[in-house]
Amino acid sequence: MSDYSSSIGIVGGGIAGLIAGCTLQEQGIKTVVFERSKSLNTDGAGISISPNGLRVLEKLKLKDHFKKTSYAPNNIVFHQNNREISNILSPNKFITSSRHNLLQHLYQKYIELGGEFLFGHEYKSLNQQELKVTFTNKKEYEVSHILACDGINSSIRDEFFPFSGSAIYSGYQAWRGIGKAKQSDAKFHFGKGKHIVSYPINNKGEVSFTAVVRNSSNTDGSWRIKGSKKELLNDFAEFDEDVFSMLNSSDEIFKWGIYVRPVLSSIYIKNITLLGDAAHPMVPFLGQGGCMALEDGYAFGMLVGAYSKDFSKTQAKYEKIRLKRKNMVQASSKTQGKIYHLDNPIVIFFRNFFLKYLPIVQMRMEKIWSYKIDEEIKNT
């Protein structure tokens, strides 16, 4: 058995795990990340990081490097039946990129800070009292605390939060890919019961797209299952040639079902704290999944330092800070999904009218984007 008894064990090397590791390491608190994959995830999914998430990256001196390899869209443009209905100016308000690009920056920072990252470690079990964690490769480690950052299908959540409920199909089926287009804006295209969002992810003409349709048929939740381009184009046949060209230019198409889990009343128990999608998976219609993971990891890391590794105090304060916030964003994302996927023509008319003439979108964005995690930590 390997002794990491002075280190915090982080199960899952995604955004939440890495940002927690970086924050802790920067304060001189040792960590070790256990990642089941054999290499850094090269998933081509796009990601948008709004100001609340960028503030976290700035605290860790990652924001400028991340921006240089990403993109800052000029506007957010909404379309209905291939016609523009609203245009929101958004210079430097948020950054769009690929998830892999963000992970690369976080991983490099984590390694530079002296963090340990162990690939090929798929979680098997945990002795909660002795804090010994075992993996399917038959290796066992003793740690000082466990951060469960192992995603929506978290094995740790299933094992130690048994009444929290399993993953549930949300009723939305999604397609994604990276295409080519001359595009400087983030674009939303609405159809009947479906929508497409696309945005540039760098200065090389690469554009990430996610196409979502309401579908009662349960679809596998894995992001890595390849889909049929023909089926994708058939599902979104009513959209115009520009959108079709961008969808068709993607070398690989992936299809998955969007899943959620029941809202938790508590996100920790003795020796174990849930972060990111393990704590609060949400539908992606506000683009906040990655930002919530950044906020979680940074908050926990800063609190551990503030309370000198008193994990009981840290967990209680962490939950007080994060639970209300994540519940609000989860609920808002669910509501936004309904707004995006209307099929009643009269209701669609009023939605588009509000988008065009009232600052509802800006107000909702500002409510989420204006959040300052450092101030929350200080004032709670």
pLDDT at 42: 67
Rounded CA gap, 22 and 174, in Å?
32
Q: Residue 117: beta bridge partners?
A: 33
pLDDT at 360: 76
Rounded CA gap, 177 and 166, in Å?
28
Tell me the pLDDT of the chain averaged across its residues: 91
* Rounded average pLDDT over 141-159: 95
CATH of domain 2-72+99-167+262-340: 3.50.50.60
Rounded CA gap, 168 and 152, in Å?
10
Reported as a single tens digit per residue, the pLDDT across 99-128 is 999 999 999 999 999 999 999 999 999 999
Reported as a single tens digit per residue, the pLDDT across 180-199 is 989 999 999 999 999 999 99
**Total-model pTM:** 0.94
Task: Give φ, ψ of 372 to 5 degrees.
Answer: -120, 105
pLDDT at 220: 65
Q: Does 23 have pLDDT greater than 70?
A: yes
DSSP tag of 276: G
Rounded CA gap, 320 and 314, in Å?
10
Pair of tokens at residue 135: 């993996």
Q: Where are the domains of the chain?
A: 2-72+99-167+262-340
Q: Determine the residue type at 220.
A: D
Among 285, 284, 228, which Cα is nearest to 254's? 228
Top-ranked range on mean pLDDT: pick from 155-164, 212-221, 293-302: 293-302
DSSP tag of 165: -
Reported as a single tens digit per residue, the pLDDT across 54-77 is 999 999 999 999 999 999 998 899
327 SS3 class: helix
